[in-house]
Amino acid sequence: MPLEIKKQGRESSQTLVRRFGIRIRKSGILRRARKIRYKQRPKSHGAQKKAALRKEELKKEYKKLKKLGKLKPTQRRR
């Protein structure tokens, strides 16, 4: 899907580049290119399950520490 932008009359090069950027954004070409470039393989069933179990364990541990007063209520883990 080629995108063609031609200079109009006495249009400056800056305006031409700006118009080109807008057309690229609206066409969705950039979004598709990034999607392809940064595509990640889906996790296997076992890996998904393992990650979910680990997340649950961390939640339990966090609640336990919060209840014991070893974590401040505003403190967040990332």
- What global pTM score does this model have? 0.45
Instruction: Tell me which DSSP letter residue 43 carries.
Output: P
pLDDT digits (tens, 9 = 90+) for 15-58: 999 999 999 999 999 899 988 998 888 999 999 999 999 999 99
Identify the residue whose tokens are 């998904």: 48
Instruction: Tell me which DSSP letter residue 71 carries.
Output: S
Alpha carbons 68 and 62: distance in angstroms, whole number: 10
